[in-house]
């Protein structure tokens, strides 16, 4: 009973943490960071690998507060679409992309695991704090100036895979139910009315999708890092003709594979491609320099 209570309270803390992480006070400046040696090191990178994306999926349900229900069974589909989008986006680059599976190389799997806390440290310590931002940043002066994080060397593992560097992708997706969308719509309406009456807005929109990517070389050095969420990226445009646009229907819990997914769902190929294209556009700019 005591254990149960402890587990429950821990889960509560993490739920709150998730909510905190999911809230954004305001739109942020571009978030990419590059290592000072990127321009030199990228010259010796001929072949790049892509590790399996780690995408945590949640169903965002309408409730008095915010209720996020883990949906691990949705993750493979989302990761699959992100992988396809990545291959498609990098397909026209001179360096071939090698898709690396999970559990093929322990060193590389450990790199992916370690990217979780590194990503957390980057987001907390490598950016200036802004008023109203949630959670508040904890800037470390030297981390703001330089991208100097490592995931540990993996020379032999990369050599066996025939790659000089790997991309690591991680993120989460809070897929709203129809009820949650209605609730959010009502809250926005109330905010508009409050603004008309010159009262401060009190609600904030939950982040639905957030993705981070890192390009990591054989020494484990993160050469490029970028992060994006739906509040920065805006709505998915209809520029991808390979997928029918306007799939507004929000899938119910347990929606089988193959059905159309909504505009806030990484299982939707158009959505995955839109995010990956945006995440990599800064890299393309940097790589072209």
β-bridge partners, 23? 206
Q: Are 76 and 190 a contacting pair, CB within 8 Å?
A: no
Residues 218-277 that bind other proteins (CB under 8 A): 220
- Shortest approach of other proteins to residue 95 CB, angstroms? 25
Residue whose C-alpha is closest to residue 272's, from 38, 24, 83, 46: 83
Task: Tell which residue, 163, 39, 155, has the closest CA to residue 95.
Answer: 163
Residue 118 in the binding site for other proteins (CB under 8 A): yes
When asked if residue 101 is in the footprint of other proteins (CB under 8 A), the reply is no
Contact between 1 and other proteins per CB under 8 A: no
- The reply on whether position 19 binds other proteins by CB under 8 A is yes
The CB-of-86 to other proteins minimum distance in angstroms stands at 18
CB closer to other proteins, 69 vs 159: 69
Min CB(110)–other proteins separation in Å: 5
Which residue shows structure tokens 């700019």?
285
- Local structure of residue 256 (DSSP, 8 states): P
Please answer whether residues 244 and 174 qualify as being in contact, where contact means their C-beta atoms are separated by less than 8 angstroms. Answer: no
Told to check if 202 binds other proteins by CB under 8 A, we report yes
Site for other proteins in 36-65 (CB under 8 A): 54, 56, 58, 63-65
Contact 89, 277 (CB under 8 A): yes
16 belongs to the binding site for other proteins (CB under 8 A): yes
Please tell me whether residue 67 binds other proteins under the rule CB under 8 A.
Answer: yes
Give least dist CB 243 to other proteins, A: 27
- Residue from 43, 41, 38, 159 nearest 98 by CA: 159
Structure tokens at 188: 């926005």
Is there a contact between 229 and 203 (Cβ–Cβ < 8 Å)? no
Both tokens assigned to 65: 């507060």
Compute the distance between CA of residue 132 and CA of residue 128 in angstroms, rounded to an integer. 12
If binding is defined by CB under 8 A, does position 69 make contact with other proteins?
no
Q: Which of residues 138-167 bind other proteins (CB under 8 A)?
A: 138, 140-143, 149-153
Contact residues: other proteins, CB under 8 A: 3, 6-7, 10-21, 23, 25, 54, 56, 58, 63-67, 70, 110-114, 116-121, 124-125, 131-136, 138, 140-143, 149-153, 170, 172, 202, 204, 220
């Amino acid at each position: 009973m005591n254990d149960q209570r402890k587990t429950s309270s821990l889960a509560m803390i993490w739920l709150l943490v998730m909510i905190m992480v999911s809230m954004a006070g305001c739109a942020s400046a571009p978030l990419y960071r590059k290592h000072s040696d990127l321009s030199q090191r990228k010259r010796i990178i001929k072949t790049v690998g892509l590790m399996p994306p780690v995408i945590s999926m949640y169903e965002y349900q309408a409730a008095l507060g915010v209720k996020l229900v883990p949906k691990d069974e949705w993750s493979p589909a989302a990761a699959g679409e992100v992988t396809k989008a990545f291959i498609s986006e990098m397909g026209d680059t001179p360096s071939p992309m090698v898709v690396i599976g999970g559990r093929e190389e322990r060193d590389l799997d450990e790199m992916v695991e370690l990217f979780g806390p590194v990503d957390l440290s980057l987001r907390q310590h490598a950016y200036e704090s802004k008023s109203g931002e949630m959670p508040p940043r904890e800037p470390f002066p030297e981390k703001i100036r330089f991208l100097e994080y490592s995931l540990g060397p993996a020379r032999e593992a990369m050599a066996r895979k025939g790659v000089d560097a790997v991309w690591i992708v991680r993120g989460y997706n809070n897929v709203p139910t129809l009820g949650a969308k209605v609730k959010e719509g009502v809250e926005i309406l109330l905010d508009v009315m409050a603004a008309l009456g010159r009262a401060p807005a009190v609600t904030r929109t939950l982040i639905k999708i957030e993705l981070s990517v890192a390009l990591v070389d054989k020494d484990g050095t993160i050469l490029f890092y970028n992060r994006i969420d739906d509040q920065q990226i805006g709505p998915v445009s209809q520029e991808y003709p390979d997928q029918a646009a306007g799939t507004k229907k929000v899938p119910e819990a347990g929606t089988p594979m193959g059905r159309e997914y909504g505009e806030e769902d990484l299982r939707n190929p158009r959505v995955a491609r839109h995010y990956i294209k945006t995440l990599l556009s800064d890299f393309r700019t940097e790589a072209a320099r």
